[in-house]
Amino acid sequence: MDVMPKWAEVILVPLISLLLAAIISALVILAIGEDPIAAVNLMITGALGSTYGWGYTLYYATNFMFTGLAVAIAFHARLFNIGGEGQAMLGGLGVALACLYIPWPHWTLALLGATAMAALFGAVWAAVPAWLQAKRGSHIVITTIMFNFIAAALLNYVLVNLLRPKGQMDPATARFPEATQLPTLHDLLAPFGIEFSKAAPANVSFLVAVLACVALWVLIWRTRLGYEIRAYGHSESAAKYAGISPVKITMIAMIISGALAGMMAINNVMGEAERLVLNSTEGAGFIGIAVALMGRSHPVGVFIAAILFGFLYQGGAELALWTSIPRELIVVIQALVILFTGALDNMVRMPLEKLFLAARRARAPKPERKPVEPAE
Amino acid sequence: MDYLTLIQLLDSTVRLATPLLLACLAGLFSERAGIFDIGLEGKMLAAAFFSAALAAITGNVWLGLLAGIGASLALSALHGVASITFRGNQLISGVAINFLAAGMTVLIAQDWFQQGGRTPSLMAGGRFEGITLPGAEAIADVPFFGPLYAELISGHSILVYMALAAVPLTWWLLYRTRFGLRLRAVGENPASVDTAGISVVGLRYAAVAICGVLCGIAGAYLSTALQAGFVKDMSAGRGFIALAALIFAKWRPWYALWATLLFGLFGALETRPDVIEAVIGMRVQGQLLGALPYVMTVIILAGFVGKAVPPRAGGEPYIKER
């Protein structure tokens, strides 16, 4: 029997963890001589007070949705994919190749093609560590970390030596052709008479990310494969006994994970920059870890957490602009969220469990205790 | 390539290998006791900042070193609380520590010094200067041995010699003392250590603390010896290269020395493309050379060239049977 009711496990524990992270963040802001309440107000107006702010918030949230889902699906198979960053970089390379070398007639087809290429490149970059884990027993966390660095070096090499147009100084590809440019939320909402900021980078990829959330929910909770992945994550030996192949599940979970991380590139590379630059991922692969932990690996949770982190990112940029609080505050908040929801969750859970146990004992009728006869 | 270039190359190899070696030995203690630590990077970074900051404020590099070790120990304590006391996920705790250090160092640097997340440049006295070993100047002109002694062996900062001395010390501690035997046992089979009546928790905290001290020295070396001051993200992935070296060394101290020297050599070669071209007769891209430690680690971890087997109880929180 569970010690805690389900709602406490799903809502109360993460909420308290978040609260702790928020309190410490507020203390940090106080310590550097700023007002936390004013800072939050500034973040809210900056990130949510205008369609321009929303446009940036949703743009960042799109990135984090993809990388968060990537980490989440791997978590379900009890695999820690820390390589989202590298997979997203490779996804960017896939998008760049698709956009530069294939003459697309229309953006819809370009989006389909680029998504496929991004997913393929990201999946391949995740498949190698997966294979090494499944077949050779090398620890997937270490291998995916190494693959992040290898990806960065590879991308650097490709951009500097192969894809950079002649005569250009900065290591980046040429601009993608007109036909591959994705419509922004401004373009999409205009037909409905909704005025949305033209300058903000949020684009149609946001809808793709939402679709990915739905698709992943269906996969995890409504298909046989999803069941197998979850079963494998809960108990490897039980899954094996039930005839589920560990090699197959490790490979499939990581390939889906890598594909999702790679698909982030349709947002930041195709939708925003419209060319591939160095360090285009800007750490979004790592934020996926925080997002997945906060969202408790559930697609709905990931969606909410991604929006929250999008808000933090845009709000943090506004803070850096208007106050003396550097942008790195966001990195600290991200660290605290990972720490409290991912590593110190037992610190919150243990006292709560005691509390619930005590409450249950108080409610339950006390067992009759017979007076012990004193021994003669 | 002439002799003097070779000496110079090896000299910078030693300089670049030192922080890797210290961090690698730090990870060795932690992981041998069964606590995975991917937070080496963050601990080094925090130590680099606090040692540079204290050295800049007080003008005394030794106080800086102490502050660096203190900062690194604080993060180690956090890792210990999360992964030993609360039996949390050690890998996630390490990731959190890396981000915490990356963010906090810039935040505090900006608050204290207002120089865009860096410390002021360290003057003499605020840095660990090179030490001229006795007789180095006297025999500098002797052919062959002169330059070898004067350029390569002499002239490093005290931290370099400390790092080199830490290798036999680590070996002795791990393989020749009771503490070392218990520490290795707690990483392989904590239940047996517990049965023998020795505290698993105590041993693991001790290992994590040693890891903190060594990471602290590594970080202090970065900002007060290798460079003169702290800049944002100055650890630049060295914690992960150290982790790679640790696997490459198969969790053994002497191998750790060779592995970090090898990776240090790659680092030194990256800045000297002319030397590579002269030796192997073709140009090698710097970026690809930089990725070499990671590629080699993946290969060795996959067991294609000699299998690297991690401590058996690594990453698993120990739960006493109730």
State CA B30 to chain mean position distance: 13
- Out of A152, A328, A350, the one facing B107 most closely (by C-beta) is A328
* Residues of chain A positioned with their CB less than 8 A from the CB of B285: 157, 161
The phi and psi torsions of A14 (rounded to 5 degrees) equal -65, -35
Chain B's closest residue to A133, CA to CA, is B302
Residue among A367, A137, A167, A304 nearest B309 (CA): A137
pLDDT digits (tens, 9 = 90+) for B18-34: 999 999 999 999 999 99
- Residue of chain A nearest B97, judged by CA positions: A335
pLDDT exceeds cutoff 50 at B257: yes
Q: Considering only CA atoms, which of A7, A66, A69 is closest in space to residue A219?
A: A69
- Residues of B within 8 A of A33 (CB-CB) are 111
Across A246-263, average pLDDT: 96
The three-class DSSP label of residue B228 is coil
Place of tokens 């601009």: A175
CA separation for the pair B144, B141 (Å, rounded): 9
- Average pLDDT estimate for A283-304: 92
| Better-scored residue on pLDDT, B321 or B47 | B47
Please list every residue in chain B whose beta carbon sits closer than 8 Å to the beta carbon of residue A146. 240, 244, 294-295, 297-298
Q: Yes or no: say if B205 and B69 are a contact pair by the CB < 8 Å rule.
A: no
Q: Measure A26 CA to nearest chain B CA, in Å.
A: 13
Q: What is the mean pLDDT of chain A?
A: 90
Q: How many CB pairs under 8 A join A and B?
A: 150
DSSP B4-51: HHHHHHHHHHHHHHHHHHHHHHHHHHHHHTT-----HHHHHHHHHHHH
Tell me the average pLDDT across A188-207.
Answer: 88
Question: What is the 3 state secondary structure string of chain A?
Answer: CCCCCHHHHHHHHHHHHHHHHHHHHHHHHHHCCCCHHHHHHHHHHHHHCCHHHHHHHHHHHHHHHHHHHHHHHHHHCCCCCCCHHHHHHHHHHHHHHHHHHCCCCCHHHHHHHHHHHHHHHHHHHHHHHHHHHHHHCCCHHHHHHHHHHHHHHHHHHHHHHHHCCCCCCCCECCCCCHHHCCCEHHHHHHHHCCCCCCCCCCECHHHHHHHHHHHHHHHHHHCHHHHHHHHHHHCHHHHHHCCCCHHHHHHHHHHHHHHHHHHCHHHHHHHHHCCCECCCCCCHHHHHHHHHHHCCCCHHHHHHHHHHHHHHHHHHHHHHHHCCCCCCHHHHHHHHHHHHHHHCHHHHHHHHHHHHHHHHHHHCCCCCCCCCCCCC
Query: Which among B96, B237, B303 is the nearest to A149, CB-wise?
Result: B237
Interface of B with A in 193-222 (CB under 8 A): none
pLDDT of residue A373: 61
Q: State the pLDDT at residue B143.
A: 77
Contact B96 A143 (CB under 8 A): no
Confidence of residue A370 (pLDDT cuts 50, 70, 90): low
Quickly tell me which residue has 């750790």 as its tokens: B256
Instruction: Quote the DSSP letter at residue B130.
Output: B
* Distance separating alpha carbons of residues A95 and A289, to the nearest angstrom: 23
Which pLDDT does position B72 carry in this prediction? Answer: 97
How many Cβ atoms are within 10 Å of A257's Cβ, its own excluded?
32
- The whole-angstrom distance between A195's CA and the closest CA on chain B is 37
**Interface contact A345, partner B, CB < 8 A:** yes
Q: Check whether B322 has a pLDDT greater than 60.
A: no
Strand-pairing partners, residue B118, are none
C-beta atoms of A139 and B100 within 8 A: no
SS (H, E, C) A46-98: HHHCCHHHHHHHHHHHHHHHHHHHHHHHHHHCCCCCCCHHHHHHHHHHHHHHH
Quick one: average pLDDT of A178-204?
87
Residue A99 binned pLDDT confidence (cut-offs 50, 70, 90): very high
Q: CB distance from A150 to chain B under 8 Å?
A: yes
pLDDT band at A369 (very low <50, low <70, confident <90, very high): low
Q: Which of residues 121-160 of B touch A (CB under 8 A)?
A: none
Which residues in chain B have their CB less than 8 angstroms from residue A138's CB? Answer: 298, 301-303
CA atoms within 13 A on the CB side of A372: 3
Tell me how far apart the alpha carbons of residues B114 and B120 are, in angstroms, rounded to a whole number.
10
**pLDDT exceeding 70 applies to what percent of chain A?**
96
Q: Which residues of A touch B115 (CB under 8 A)?
A: none
Tell me which of A105-109, A298-302, A342-346, B99-103 is least confident: A342-346
Smallest CA–CA separation between A166 and chain B, in Å? 18
The answer for residues whose C-beta is within 8 angstroms of residue B303's C-beta and 6 or more apart is A136, A137, A138
pLDDT band at B271, cuts 50/70/90?
A: confident
Nearest residue of B to residue A139 by CA position?
B301
- Mean pLDDT in residue range A17-33: 91
Q: Do A335 and B100 touch (CB under 8 A)?
A: yes
Is the pTM above the cut of 0.80?
yes
Chain A interface disruption, residue of B41, B79, B283, B294, most A CBs within 10 A? B294
In chain B, DSSP finds a helix count (H) and a strand count (E) of: 13, 0
**Which residues contact residue A182 at a Cβ distance below 8 angstroms, ignoring those fewer than 6 apart?**
A107, A111, A203, A204, A205, A266, A270, A271
Residue A203 main-chain phi, psi, to 5 deg:
-140, -170
Rounded to whole angstroms, how far apart are CA atoms A180 and A156?
Answer: 24
Please tell me the predicted confidence (pLDDT) of residue A1: 46
Higher local confidence (pLDDT), B79 or A353: B79
Segment A236-253 shows an average pLDDT of: 92
At B321, the pLDDT band (50, 70, 90 cuts) reads low
Interface of B with A in 226-255 (CB under 8 A): 237, 240, 243-244, 247
How confident is the model over A326-356, as pLDDT tens digits? 888 989 998 999 899 888 888 888 888 888 8
Q: What is the DSSP letter of B141?
A: T
Residue B57 at interface with chain A, using a CB cutoff of 8 Å: no
- Contact list in A for residue B84 (CB cut-off 8 A) is none
Q: What is the DSSP letter of B271?
A: T
B12 contacts: CB under 8 Å, gap ≥ 6: B267, B268, B271
How far apart, in whole angstroms, are the C-alpha atoms of residue A136 and residue A344? Answer: 31
pLDDT of residue A165: 87
DSSP label of B306: S
At residue A372, the pLDDT reads 61
Q: What is the mean pLDDT of residues B140-149?
A: 76
pLDDT of residue B7: 87
- Residues A289, B106: C-beta atoms closer than 8 Å: no
User: What percent of chain B clears pLDDT 90, i.e. is strictly above it?
Assistant: 56
CB B131 within 8 A of CB B157: yes
| Residue A289 in contact with partner chain B when CB distance is under 8 A | yes
Nearest to B24 by CA among B223, B225, B204, B170: B170
pLDDT class of A142 with cuts at 50, 70, 90: confident
Interface check for A346 against chain B (CB to CB < 8 A): the answer is: yes
> Which of B76, B92, B100 is most worth mutating to test chain A (most A CB atoms within 10 A of its CB)?
B92
pLDDT at B304 over 90: no
Q: How far is B8 from chain A (nearest CA, A)?
A: 26
Alpha helix ranges (H) inside B85-199: 90-113, 145-147, 158-176, 178-188, 190-195
Q: How far apart are CA A145 and CA A130, in angstroms?
A: 13
Gap between the Cα atoms of B174 and B235, Å rounded: 28
